[in-house]
Chains A and B, each alone.
Chain A
Amino acid sequence: MSQSPPTVGLVIVSHSSDVARGTAEMARQMVGDEVTIVHCGGDPDGGLGTDVSKIVEAIDQAWSEAGVAILVDLGGAETNSEMAVEMQPAERQDRIRILNAPVVEGAVMAAAEAAGGSPLSAVQATAEELMGQP
C-alpha cells in the first residue's frame, strides 16, 4: 500500500471559538479529510480571547512532517500563537508559519493549496497573496 505524502496541517485561531469552528468547517468543505484542520478559540475561561495552551495542543494535533500553517484573527491571537510556536521543540519551529492573511479567506485558500500536496512555503504564499490585492 503506497502512502500519500503528508500534507501541511492547518490551525485556526480566533478570539471566538464559534468563528474558529465555523472557519474550520468552511475550509473542510473545500478539502474534506485531505488536510488536518484544527481550530481553537476563546480565552482560558471560555470568554472571547485566545489561549496559549489550547494553541499548543492544536499545533500538536495538526502536526505533519510537511509543517503547520496557523491562521489568526486579531492582535492577541497572533502574539499568543507566536508564544505557542516558541514552546514547540526546536526542530519543529522552522516548519510552523503564522500566515499574514485574513482568517476565513486565508484558511480556505491555505486548505485548498495544502490539499494539492504543496509545501508549506506555497501554502503560505497562496494565503498571503490575499493581502496583496488592491
Chain B
Amino acid sequence: MIDYETIRVIWWLFTGVVAIGFTVTEGFDFGIGALLPFLGKSDVERRVILNTIGPNWEGNQVWLILLGGALFAVWPPLYATLFSGLYVAMLLVLFSLFMRPTGFDFRSKVDDPTWRNAWDWALFAGGALPPILLGVLVGNLVQGLPYRLDQDLRTFYEGSFWALLNPFALLCGVVGLAGMAFHGAIYLGWRTEGVIHRRACAVLDLLGPVFLVGLTVAILWTIAAFGRPEITSMADTAAPSNPLNKTVTLNNSWLAHFAAHPWMWAAPVVGVAGMLTAWLTGRKGSSGLAFLSSSIGISGVLLTLGFALFPFLLISSIDPRSSYTIWDASASHFNLLLSFWITVVFLPIVLLYTRWAYKVMWGKVTERDILQDSHTLY
C-alpha cells in the first residue's frame, strides 16, 4: 500500500509521462500537418508526406485523449477548471482536431485536385492550430488564470478569450508551433528520401533558431516579469483534497525556486541541449539520432515547466488560495491507487504493441510506393 502523499507525487510524474508521450508522438504528426502544404508541391509529394504518419497517427492521438482522461481521473478539479474556464480556446482546439481523422481518411478517396487541396489545408489547420493554442495555454498557465472557487468548490472563471492572447502567451504559441514543426520535419526527413527529405532538413534551419530563441526569451521573460506562487500555510500533504484549506502568496521568484532545488536545472539544460543536437544533426540529413535528440529535448522542456510549477498544477491570478496543487486537487487515495495499478499494467502493453505497429510499417515512404498502392494508401 502506497501512502497518499507518495501516490500523489507518483501521479504528478505519471501525468508528466503522458504529457510527454502526447507531445513527442502526436507532436510530430501536428508538425507534419503544419508543414504539409509547404514541403509537398505535387499531389504525389503530399501523399508521401501523409503516408509517413498514415498508419500510426491515430494511435499517437490517443495520448491526447489519455491526457484528458488522466486529468479527469486523477486531478478532477484541474480538468473541470481548465476546460470550462478556457471554453472558447478548448473548442477551437476541438474544431481543429476535427480536421485530422477526416482529413487523413477522406483526402485521397476522391481523385479531384480541388477536393484534395481543400483537405490539405484542413490538415494544415488541424496540425498548426493545436500547437499554437496549446502554447498559448501554457503561456497563460505560467501567468495564472483568473478563476475563483466558491464554498461548494464550483469554478468561476472571470477572464475572456481575448485576454488569453497576451504578448507573452502569443510568444509561447509561436514556440509551440515552431517546436512541433521542428520535431515533425525531423521525423519526416527520417522517413523519406530525395526531394522531400532535403526540404524537410532545410526547413530545420528556420525552425530550430525560432524555437530556441523563442524559448530562451520566454524563460527570461518569466523570470523577469512574473511572480511564482508559494504556499504559506496548508493542511498536510496527505489531507483530503480541498484547495480552500490553504493560503498562497504570488510574489515569489522562479529563480529562488530553482536555487532551492538545484537539480531542477537539469531539465532546461537537457531541453536546450536536446533541441540543439537535433538541429545540428538533423540539418545534415535527419536520422534516428536527430529524432531521439528532439524527443529528449521536448521532454526536457516539458519537465522544466512541471518542475517550475511544482507543487502547483494551476495558479489562480485573482484568488491565490483557489490555486490547485498536487496536495489538494487530486482524486481520492483509493482512486489514485486504482489508476496507478491500471497504468502499471497497461502502459507496458501499450508500448509493446505500439512498437510492433511501427516496426511493421517501418521504411522510407517513396513516390513509387504511392503510385503502386494508389487506391489503398492515404
Q: Do A and B come from one complex?
A: no
Question: What residues of chain B have their CB less than 8 Å away from a CB belonging to chain A?
Answer: none
